[in-house]
Each structure stands twice: as C-alpha cells, then as structure tokens.
Amino acid sequence: MTLGQEWRLPEGTTLWREGEPGDHVVVLLEGTLEVLREDEDGHIVLIRQLERGAIVGDIATVDRGVRSATVRARTECLIRRIPAKEFLAKLDEEPKLYKQLFWEQIARVRSLTNDMAASQREAITDPLTKLYNIRFFRQRLSLELDRALQTSDPVSVAMFDVDHFKHYNDTNGHQGGDEVLVSIAGTFREAGRRGDIVARYGGEEFIVLLYGATPDEANIYADHVRQLIELTDFPGGRSQPLGSVTVSGGIATFPRDGSDAQTLIGSADRNLYHAKHSGRNRVCGMSPSQKATEE
C-alpha cells in the first residue's frame, strides 16, 4: 500500500510555517525544499536545503509537537504528503523505519553543526587575511587578563603596522597591497607560538596576544616577526622607501603597562607610534623609566 498522496508544488509554495502542528510528513520526490527560520531581527535565515529522497516533518509528527522551522519549495517540487496517523501506523508496523529516521537525524545534526561552525568562524574572522578580527581579539584579551589576575601570569600584546603601506598601494595597486597583507598574515601564523591570538587590527595594522610572555619574550617575538617580513621578497618591495616591505612594532605587558584590555592596547599603540617616528622597521616597548616619564 502506498502511503499518502502525491502533490506537485509550484516554486515558492510554503508547506508549513514554524509553530504549526506536526500533522503530516512529506517525502520529497522531485525538486528542492528549503528549511527557514526567522532570527531575532525578523530576518529569514536559510537553515538547509533538502534534495530528492529527503523526509521532512517527521520529528514534529512523531513527538506530536509543533514545527521547529518553516519549509518552502525552492523549486517546483513533487512531494508525497503522508498524514500523521498513517505515518505513525507505518512506524508501528515497521520498527526498522525508526532506525532509518534516527540516522537521517544524525546526518542533519552533523550538517547543522558544520554550518554553525562555519558561521562562527566567519563571525570572528577577518575576510581578507583569515586572521581573527579585532572584536574577537578584544573579547579574548579580556578573558585572558581575568585569568592572569588569578595566576599572576604576564600577558603581552604586540602591535604592528606596515611601513609606508600607502606608498606600496600607490605603486603596486590595491590588489598588490592586499596580497602583501595576506602574506604577512601567513608570517604571523608561522612565527607564533601555539595558542597565540593574532588579529587584523584594521587596515595595515595587526595585533597579537602573547599569553605568559614577559616584556623580553614579547620583544624577541616581535623583532623576529619584523626580521622575517623585512627578509621576504615581496613583489615591488625594493621600490619601498626603506628598500623592502617592513613593519614597525610596539609591545606592552600586563600588568606593568596596563591593568585592562583597553589600557594595554593603548600602551602598545603608543609604543608603535614611537617606533614609527623613530625611523620605522623597529620594535619599541615601554620601559619602567619611560612609563614614569609619561606619567
């Protein structure tokens, strides 16, 4: 006996909306369905697409609940609509169908988990360099400073700015400038210690969280990165004012140079400014005597 009835749905037809009762199950025979939800701002978000052979609506039907999402025909579709009573009776007759539905749910969960992970990465990542973005960096720095307060560990921040970057863009074009930023981002990944948080601060600036690094260790790291970048043979680099693509750096260490995320970043930024105005292609850190002078 064939369950339910076949229906042909025009593109854009809504099968059901979120919150409606689970009174039937749909088997997709042809076409593509889309599962949608509304976010907090009222925007419709695509959760996933369903292709031929998919069963949809089974959870709400089995637990006699309501629909957790809206389902709509993305293309013209041919479906088999099975009323809840028929579907549940079939499950009682053939318990093996429960196993089939179980594995289908596992596949859905895995797919959704992968999609959520990708969305999370996108939310905290700079689209050009694939480093973390500054929003994530600030959040993580605040957390690490809270941890350091409990453990008395040092936490250092290193900021970098590409020297004469406007000159490079004007000479080699913005695409060439983007390629330099991507390459420098790769240098940061290779030079860093495991667990370091590297972010694009904005424009041609980068920032690194070095948990457990003393001022001397932060300086060694920052100068190592500076040297690696200076020695990289970037296309058009020799036309730069310093003869190659270079960076200037500024470092600051908690708790010596700042008691919270904002002041620590501010100290590193001031040291970066000092490096830029002291000839560029160098790293500067705030010594206790410098700090006393500023105060």
Catalytic residues: 204
Residues 290 and 252: beta-carbon distance below 8 Å: no
Residues 50 and 15: beta-carbon distance below 8 Å: no
Inter-CA distances, 98 with 23, 62, 92, Å: 18, 10, 9
Closest alpha carbon to 266 in 217, 222, 221, 201: 201
What's the CA gap between 68 and 51, in Å, rounded?
19
What's the CA gap between 103 and 85, in Å, rounded?
22
What's the CA gap between 166 and 209, in Å, rounded?
26
Tokens read off for 241: 């004012």
Q: At which residue do the structure tokens 């037809």 appear?
A: 13
Inter-CA distances, 284 with 12, 112, 212, 240, Å: 61, 46, 19, 22
Helix, strand or coil for residue 13? Answer: coil
What's the CA gap between 141 and 135, in Å, rounded?
10
What's the CA gap between 235 and 169, in Å, rounded?
12
Closest alpha carbon to 169 in 179, 158, 184, 156: 179
Cβ-proximal residues to 187 (8 Å cutoff; 6+ apart), any chain: 225, 228, 229, 232
